[in-house]
Structure 1
Amino acid sequence: MSPPKPLLLLLILTIATTLSSAHNITQILDSDPNLSQFNNYLTRTKLADEINSRQTITVLAIPNSAISPLSNLSLAAVKNTLSLHVVLDYYDAKKLHDIQDGTVITTTLYQTTGQAESSVGELNITDAKGGAVKFGSAKDGAKLDSTYVKQIKQIPFSLSVIEITAPILVPELLTATDDVNVTGVLTKAGCKTFAALLSKSGVLKRYEDQLKSGITVFAPNDEAFKAKGVPDLDKLSSADIVSLLQFHALSSYAPIGTLKTTKGSLQTLAPAGKFGLTASTAGDAVTLHTGVDSSRIATTLVDASPVVFYSVDSVLLPVALFGMSPTPAPAPAPESDAPSPSPEADTPSPSKAPAASPPAPPSDSSPAGEPSADSPEKAADEHSKKNDARGSAALLNGVVLSVAFGVVSLMF
């Protein structure tokens, strides 16, 4: 039985919203020079990426004339404070003034960091006398020192940007520091094996040198090194161990919001080339892909801009050390692009110069007209099928969006 039309429409609109980019907070704030410093802080702390990655959110913007209390704070403290100004719900001017002599306690982005104690990450929004709307920390006894000024931007039920008179300051958030003890963080989080490897190899110094300019660390927990399929690291050379450990860190600050919105390869501390690392997102979960294996980001151990440490479920294995080289090999091998596929392959590979010793033909045991399992023809056929699948997925996304907006147009 087909679903009711209202339910079907809701489903289509939900898919369409998910597939499209909702907003860009940096561009929105650029239109108001009075909010330039606030906008700059969102960029420097990478909070802009987190805001852009979310579908339902309200940003409480602070004007340049009132933002000076943040100027002497560490960047980590600035990020914590401004995280309290990002509400995980939609409040436009109308909704704020409809509170009607009441109070709403709502959750902010800081509450999602795992560092918030009690109600520190919650916000008090109160309709005061005379129609004024006040904002403050939800902590007991906290003052409501900030007031609604005006609506800056609204995308109904998705994004609302409003200006307030002053920053919301909470003492617990103002003392955050960007000083991080690398081995201390790792040891406390159950990543002792990883910490020991860093110290023994000398890569710890490389991590520490990167702290001031920005670093992102993906630390495998102790169980990850015991998992089935993890290569024997004792068989690697000292240089390979160094490259492997450098591969577990990015040369920049990338909190979760940044990982969600970054497309393409992530730049690690390892040499460029075969040390590619990419990230994919499913809901709030982020998975890292090396070309050899994948690993889910389990938890954020510390986020003190410009430093962030994550724990990951698996040791990240780079192609350069554990995968097949894309360079054509003298003998045929699975996933190699060296031999040209036969006419049976659906999509031929780009032509290459003939190899000195051509690969042996399929054995007589293979059925006539069908490539053997290890043959380059079979590999090319599988590659073609994957490309066809990707093309079909992209086409489906386009069709869904077209149908969704077509239905909405007919309704209105």
Structure 2
Amino acid sequence: MPLLLQLQQLHRARQAKLSCGAPPPYLSVSARASPPAHHRTMSAQCVPLHSELSSEQLAADALSLSVDMELLLRRLAVVVAVVALTAATAAEGYNITKILGDHPEYSQFNKLLTETRLAGDINRRRTITVLVVANGDMGALSGGHYTLPTLRHILEMHILVDYYGAKKLHQLARGDTASSSMFQESGSAPGTTGYVNITQHRGGRVSFTAEDAADSATPSSFVKSVKEIPYDLAVLQISKPLSSPEAEAPVAPPAPVNLTELLSKKYCKNFAGLLASNADVYSNINATKDNGLTLFCPVDAAVDAFMPKYKNLTAKGKAAILLYHAVPDYYSLQLLKSNSGKVSTLATASVAKKDYSYDVSNDRDSVLLDTKVNSASVTATVKDADPLAVYAISKFLQPKELFKVTEDLAPAPAPEGPKKKTKKKKPSTTSAAAAPSDDSSAADSPDGTPADEVADKAAAAPSVLARWVTAAATVAAALALAA
């Protein structure tokens, strides 16, 4: 029996017993002496109850009902907890590389998703359908006939920006529909050439055809569902790659980009100077930009304000903090605004056993970067063209691996108090405290270790779950009592 129905029945039973104890309190004395017919009927119905049960028994029954309701509410809380945990697990997202990795027959398609950097784009999205092709049906996609940019366009045609599970495919309202693909959404497809037509045929067969496919092209057929996360992700196998002349057209290689020149012209001249002065760092970033790079460059005023701390870092620390501003993946501004999460940096791969990551979030139309030491916002777009994105930011990012974690990042925090004794210290000591090097104790402080971050998040989860359970139990009780 549903929990809410049990609660309602218990409540009605309790009201029936309590109503037999005395006339309603809102009746006058005369009315109580001579109750209306419907009250006399109710009283007559209650005579057997009064004749059989004593006041002690009635009290015991009331207590039993209260205990039963409490047990039911506890059961409801357990159900809510399971639902909340399931929802939290689903919210963590998915990994298309891992999903296809469990199916060796799609290994070639999976490899191309990684090489074209589309795997990351898929993982960051919700409500998406991926049309995969088995190794034996890849055709020209596996023969090295296309350049990487062209392959990206072709694969984008196989990623629909809507959810089409197997059930939905066989329940198309008019027997056919058109869905936009990532190729259409990227802006590279002229007109509507990035759309995919989905058609349901007699006998339940479903076919897929690119909007600009030649009349002689044979449609690709739905084979089976590989993986479905309802309304979020559907991975479907189709019989062969979609044919799209626009997607298969050669893509001109991007024009060479001089990072120093680009940064110097827009907002980040001082940061460009820091990169140019460190040959190894500049070489690392420059070699990454053609394969996918997002660079956050502090504006000139932010660099000027940070220079006293920067000068006190060791050579290793300076290299790490510059690489910390570079993310080895392309993030369009739209992706940054619509997705939140932790990103790794070039410093993550360059410095052994160090995290060097930060959180990207959005506040309305602003993109925020939080390092746990300080936070910065994206103030302007310097360049946003796949595979390179450069954004100007309001502050110089300070990694927790080099600086002490700030507990309160609220603007203009009140000072803890005068530190007269600090002024008496030697200048070198004061500078080191303000900007510890990569070898300082602050870098290894337990306050900023990744393990502590995990612990904080783990501690926060039960609190959120408790609020869910409490709220659900309260609502359930209110619904039962109102019935």
TM-score scaled by length of structure 2: 0.53
Greater per-residue helix proportion: 2
Aligned partners of 2:471 and 2:229: how far apart in 1?
18
1:35 shift after superposition? 1.6
Of 259, 271, 295, which residue of structure 1 is paired with 2:376?
295
Q: Does 1:167 align with 2:244?
A: no
1:218 shift after superposition? 1.2
Q: Does 1:51 align with 2:122?
A: yes
**1:330 — aligned with what?**
none
Aligned partners of 1:322 and 1:387: how far apart in 2?
19
**2:220 — aligned with what?**
146
Once the two structures are superposed, the pairs formed by residues 10-409 of structure 1 within 5 Å of their partners are: 17=87, 20=90, 21-71=92-142, 72=144, 73-99=146-172, 102-113=175-186, 115=188, 117-128=190-201, 131-139=204-212, 145-174=219-248, 175-176=250-251, 181-183=256-258, 187=262, 190=266, 193=269, 198-199=275-276, 202=279, 203-210=281-288, 214=291, 216-220=293-297, 224-226=299-301, 230-231=305-306, 236=311, 244-250=321-327, 252-253=328-329, 255=331, 266-268=345-347, 276-281=356-361, 287-296=368-377, 301-304=384-387, 308-319=388-399, 323-324=403-404, 393-399=460-466
1:61 shift after superposition? 0.9
| Structure 1 residues 90 and 184: CA distance shift in structure 2, 3 A | same
1:162 shift after superposition? 1.2
Between 308-317 and 79-88, report the one with greater CA deviation. 308-317
Between 289-298 and 177-186, report the one with greater CA deviation. 177-186
Aligned partners of 1:33 and 1:63: how far apart in 2?
9
Q: 1:70 is aligned with what amino acid?
A: L
Q: 1:35 is aligned with what amino acid?
A: Y
Aligned partners of 1:22 and 1:322: how far apart in 2?
31
| Structure 1 residues 93 and 274: CA distance shift in structure 2, 3 A | closer
| Structure 1 residues 233 and 117: CA distance shift in structure 2, 3 A | farther
Q: Which has the larger radius of gyration?
A: 2
Between 149-158 and 397-406, report the one with greater CA deviation. 397-406
Q: 2:386 is aligned with what amino acid?
A: D
1:85 shift after superposition? 1.5
SS at 1:182 equivalent = coil
SS at 2:397 equivalent = coil
Q: 1:246 is aligned with what amino acid?
A: L
Q: Which string of whole-angstrom CA distances, capped at 9 and with x for unpartnered residues, describes residues 283-309 of structure 1?
A: 9986433344333567672333xxx43
Q: Which string of whole-angstrom CA distances, capped at 9 and with x for unpartnered residues, describes residues 209-239 of structure 1?
A: 3457x55331438xx3346984458985996
| Structure 1 residues 404 and 155: CA distance shift in structure 2, 3 A | farther
Alpha carbons 1:260, 1:279 under 8 Å: kept: no
Alpha carbons 1:275, 1:318 under 8 Å: kept: no
- The number of residue pairs the alignment matches comes to 336
Alpha carbons 1:62, 1:164 under 8 Å: kept: yes
1:183 shift after superposition? 2.0
Alpha carbons 1:220, 1:313 under 8 Å: kept: yes
SS at 1:17 equivalent = helix
Alpha carbons 1:292, 1:322 under 8 Å: kept: no
Aligned partners of 1:121 and 1:186: how far apart in 2?
35
1:91 shift after superposition? 0.9
Aligned partners of 1:191 and 1:68: how far apart in 2?
47
| Structure 1 residues 177 and 186: CA distance shift in structure 2, 3 A | farther
Aligned partners of 2:185 and 2:84: how far apart in 1?
24
Q: Which string of whole-angstrom CA distances, capped at 9 and with x for unpartnered residues, describes residues 76-111 of structure 1?
A: 333332222222221122322332654422233344
SS at 2:231 equivalent = coil
| Structure 1 residues 26 and 317: CA distance shift in structure 2, 3 A | closer
Unaligned runs of 5+ in 2: 1-78, 407-414, 418-446, 448-452, 475-483
Between 83-92 and 285-294, report the one with greater CA deviation. 285-294
Unaligned runs of 5+ in 1: 1-8, 327-332, 336-379, 381-385, 408-412
User: What's the RMSD between the two structures over aligned residues?
Assistant: 5.2
Q: 1:29 is aligned with what amino acid?
A: L
Alpha carbons 2:326, 2:345 under 8 Å: kept: no
Alpha carbons 2:199, 2:207 under 8 Å: kept: yes
Between 169-178 and 236-245, report the one with greater CA deviation. 236-245
Aligned partners of 2:194 and 2:366: how far apart in 1?
21
Q: Which string of whole-angstrom CA distances, capped at 9 and with x for unpartnered residues, describes residues 356-407 of structure 1?
A: xxxxxxxxxxxxxxxxxxxxxxxx9xxxxx9998666321334467789999
Aligned partners of 1:119 and 1:404: how far apart in 2?
47
Q: 1:107 is aligned with what amino acid?
A: S
Alpha carbons 1:219, 1:311 under 8 Å: kept: yes
Q: 2:110 is aligned with what amino acid?
A: N
Aligned partners of 2:112 and 2:254: how far apart in 1?
19
**2:437 — aligned with what?**
none
SS at 1:91 equivalent = coil
Alpha carbons 1:49, 1:261 under 8 Å: kept: no
| Structure 1 residues 89 and 201: CA distance shift in structure 2, 3 A | same
Alpha carbons 2:294, 2:331 under 8 Å: kept: no
Aligned partners of 1:200 and 1:160: how far apart in 2?
48
TM-score scaled by length of structure 1: 0.60
Aligned partners of 1:108 and 1:14: how far apart in 2?
32
Aligned partners of 1:94 and 1:131: how far apart in 2?
11
**1:339 — aligned with what?**
none
Aligned partners of 1:158 and 1:404: how far apart in 2?
27
| Structure 1 residues 144 and 314: CA distance shift in structure 2, 3 A | farther
